[in-house]
Amino acid sequence: MPKFAANLSMLYAELDFPDRFDAAARAGFKGVEYLFPYAYDKALLADRLAKNGLTQVLHNLPAGDWAAGERGIAVLPDRVGEFQDGVGKAIEYATALGCTQVNVLAGIAPAGADPGRLRETLVANLRFAAQKLEAAGIRLLIEAINTFDIPGFYVKGTQQTLDLIAACGSRNVYVQYDIYHMQRMEGELAATIRKHLREIAHLQLADNPGRNEPGTGEINYPFLFGWLDEIGYPGWIGCEYKPRTTTDAGLGWIKPWLG
């Protein structure tokens, strides 16, 4: 049976962030994920998790100035110190929240930058983060993102992600496979997930087009959920979509799976 985590950065967006934990639990979710915890007190977030019996499934490493359009700094040669400081901050929050995996967003490749230097920077940053996180009992994930939504995003495909992991040389780096992003970039969802099941530590979902809830687009999610059960995927599935109307009104798709 798939395990679903509510992505609180996108679901229940009409509520104050701490109140989204309560709403997710009322809807039947057992886990939550979101982009970043760093604007909130660790004790407040830990209390909301405990109060609602929720598991903190995932959050991201600090990713630069999100409001200004940055989408990660791990690939940027002039931001290595900031990246390394962010790893320490992520460990503090993940430890306080009982979160056993964090995701790194590589970022947008600067125009005209030397491709070799960008890759070298990202691999070195992955190696650094993987080592620090492993010592804290936390897995490092890396995610490919489609370049229609984020033009210029550096990591944009499954094989590239796997190549970066291999170059890093760490046993503590895994794939975060976003079904929506990879449908837009590659397709072949079921075959890819089966082929790389051992490397995939976390899945995320949304339908396409529109990035709305399952059942609103072209992806056959009932088939995929059954497929994940068949091949024995053991992890969580993060519901990282934009509700077409309200979150609760669009939850009909998940009711058979929440029990």
Q: Is the residue at 90 inside a domain?
A: yes
pLDDT at 100: 98
- If one counts every other C-beta atom within 10 angstroms of the C-beta of residue 195, the result is 12
**CA-CA distance, 209 to 218, in Å (whole number)?**
7
Number of domains in the chain: 1
pLDDT at 248: 96
pLDDT tens, the chain, 259 aa long: 789 999 999 999 999 999 999 999 999 999 999 999 999 999 999 999 999 999 999 999 999 999 999 999 999 999 999 999 999 999 999 999 999 999 999 999 999 999 999 999 999 999 999 999 999 999 999 999 999 999 999 999 999 999 999 999 999 999 999 999 999 999 999 999 999 999 999 999 999 999 999 999 999 999 999 999 999 999 999 999 999 999 999 999 998 887 6
Contact 215/207 with Cβ under 8 angstroms? yes
Q: Is the residue at 242 inside a domain?
A: yes
Buried b (16+ CB within 10 A) or exposed e, 97-117: bebbbbbbbbbbbeeeeeeee
Q: Is the residue at 227 inside a domain?
A: yes
CATH number, residue 100:
3.20.20.150
Polymer length in residues for the chain: 259
* DSSP result, 208-250: TTTS--TTSSS--HHHHHHHHHHHT--SEEEE----SS-TGGG
Contact 8/34 with Cβ under 8 angstroms? yes
Exposed (0-12), middle (13-18) or buried (19+): which is 88, by Cβ within 10 Å? Answer: exposed
**CA-CA distance, 226 to 119, in Å (whole number)?**
37
Give the helix, strand, coil percentages of the chain, each rounded to 5: 45, 15, 40
Q: Which domain holds residue 35?
A: 3-254
Q: Is the residue at 64 inside a domain?
A: yes
pLDDT at 122: 98
Contact 242/211 with Cβ under 8 angstroms? yes
The residues facing 202 across adjacent strands are 176
pLDDT at 259: 62
pLDDT at 2: 85
What are phi and psi for residue 145, nearest 5 degrees? -130, 145
Q: Is 120 among the catalytic positions?
A: no
**CA-CA distance, 17 to 188, in Å (whole number)?**
35
> Is the full-model pTM beyond 0.95?
yes
Q: Is the residue at 203 inside a domain?
A: yes
Give every CB contact of residue 67 below 8 A, 6+ residues apart in sequence: none
pLDDT at 175: 98
Which of 33, 70, 92, 143 is labelled catalytic?
143
What are phi and psi for residue 154, nearest 5 degrees? -70, -45
Contact 130/87 with Cβ under 8 angstroms? no
Sign of CA dihedral 240, 243, 246, 250: negative
Buried b (16+ CB within 10 A) or exposed e, 122-156: bbbbbbbbbebbeeeebbbbbbbbbbeebeebbbb
Q: Is 82 among the catalytic positions?
A: no
Amino acid (1-letter code) at residue 100: T
Q: Is the residue at 259 inside a domain?
A: no
Q: Is the residue at 97 inside a domain?
A: yes
